[in-house]
Structure 1
């Protein structure tokens, strides 16, 4: 299979460095940086724009700026949209000591935003902290933080991530580990056409959701530091892991498997979980043995053909 390409804006660090900060607007007399599309009203604080939508439905458009700002969505249906994808950066500030966006409304959509440098005292600082409701993320970049997307539990909810990049995320410095993506007991986690790279601890994707759909994405651990599994489904899951590209790097806390199923509990059935059409190998110069899929569930998984490099066993029962 062809290696999935990273998002164009994820290559553009010089471009991001040139984006002005939101604090410069007040000095120049330019328009406020957040605009609610449905009403045309503009706001200088993100929280005020969220509150203006309230329990309704609306779209907040972000100017091309770096923002030392954050917000809590307690209700409603809100879209957070960069006017130019990759040029609106929520940088370094967390609300409630949790995340740049703390979400507990009905629905939230994130389009084209960048989340960077989010750190909090308990080492769980995230770009997005989802506590309730549905979430869709597209063309977003999460980088240089403790976590990218972190969720609580909502067994009826769905999380969908598409065309997004996760760079230099994760840590095991706190009481537990943080991960690039860490999903609680949700109904569905779907990740498509996305890239994970250069993790700094924990897993790249850890999901306690009942169903996983992970397709056409890449996991490049070549520059990872102290990382663990590429995909961890600790409670078990059904669904599909297909068409992905995995490279395991040298600096691992645990290199015994690429994909782990039900390593902690068997809360969800795993029978029929399809793992097929993936490409997995070690980074150049790495010589070891590992399992592509390690299974603790004891249930019949659906393992199709996967292209595996030297030293990688297709399946191990544990």
Structure 2
């Protein structure tokens, strides 16, 4: 069963081989790697491009290459888009000790960018720190950092992630709070679709305190994970759906007791009617342990439909 599940075709990923040979940044006089599409003005610093948009709406086109740069958005609606998807790489520089992009404006979209090697003193170095408002992330790659995306609370806002990859993220060490591949606060809605999670370095793959979730058609491949925990953690409870996902638990676990956890920390949100169906899940067959597909602390009636579970997986457990 375990090998059969791994034959599922991989989700669409970025053209990763192209990342090995990025195009050099433009060098001609008066040019810069960040262009505000509406005005045609180019900037040498990402923050200057963000500030040029100000309280308006605009698109910043990011040139191919390695960008050791970061920015804080405090107003306006901004789209950050790679000129060539997968070849505009933000590498190792975090603003405010938080992330490459710190977003607290009126809304943002990130398209085709790569974020890597983000580390900060508090252990939560992220590609994106979302502090308020809506954010759409598409066709982007987060890798080799402490965290991919980390948010504050905004019950009126929505985070959507589509066709993206989260690889070699998370940590639980140094006596600090754990970091996760994606960790959202109390957002109104979180939707994650057609996205791959893999090779976690600790913590959970997807942890969200959102009141409503749509986690659909993703792969959670923990076969090369190290000291990881749950694949999907809804620690405050949630409604919505977790459907059509592939979940493969690995061998090296800090906590192997469950793949999906509901309300393990609090019952801030209702969970009645949360739909969990159409998923395929497995654990290593020769490891001599069992695990639970859905562990529930909410005490509410979840809508657990048909799921394809490998040997050693218990369908449901009330905790």
Q: Same fold (TM over 0.5)?
A: yes
Q: TM-score, normalised by structure 1?
A: 0.95
Aligned mates of 1:11, 1:241 — CA distance in 2: 28
How many matched pairs?
Answer: 313
1, 22, 41: which is aligned to 1:19? 22
Deviations 1:232-277 (A, max 9, x none): 1010000000000000000000000000000010000000000000
1:233 maps to what in 2?
Answer: 234
1:3 maps to what in 2?
Answer: 8
Q: Which runs of 4+ in 1 moved over 4 A?
A: none
Deviations 1:199-254 (A, max 9, x none): 00000001001011100000000000000000010100000000000000000000
2:144 maps to what in 1?
Answer: 144
Aligned mates of 1:172, 1:264 — CA distance in 2: 17
Instruction: Give SS of 1:169's match.
Output: coil
1:304 maps to what in 2?
Answer: 305
Aligned-residue offset at 1:18: 1.0
Deviations 1:10-52 (A, max 9, x none): 542xx21211454xx44x5583111111111111100000000
Instruction: Give SS of 1:50's match.
Output: helix
Aligned mates of 1:104, 1:284 — CA distance in 2: 46
Instruction: Give SS of 1:145's match.
Output: coil
> In the alignment, is the contact (CA less than 8 A) between 1:10 and 1:141 conserved in 2?
no
Give the unaligned 5+ runs of structure 1: none
Instruction: Give SS of 1:69's match.
Output: coil
Aligned-residue offset at 1:178: 0.2
Instruction: Give SS of 1:251's match.
Output: coil
Deviations 1:178-199 (A, max 9, x none): 0000000000010000000000
- Structure-to-structure mapping, 1:174-253, within 5 angstroms: 174=174, 175-253=176-254
Q: TM-score, normalised by structure 2?
A: 0.95
Aligned mates of 2:15, 2:235 — CA distance in 1: 30
Aligned mates of 1:154, 1:21 — CA distance in 2: 38
Aligned mates of 1:44, 1:255 — CA distance in 2: 47
1:266 maps to what in 2?
Answer: 267
Aligned-residue offset at 1:6: 3.7
> In the alignment, is the contact (CA less than 8 A) between 2:285 and 2:311 conserved in 1?
no
Give the unaligned 5+ runs of structure 2: none
Distance 1:107 1:221, change over 3 A: same
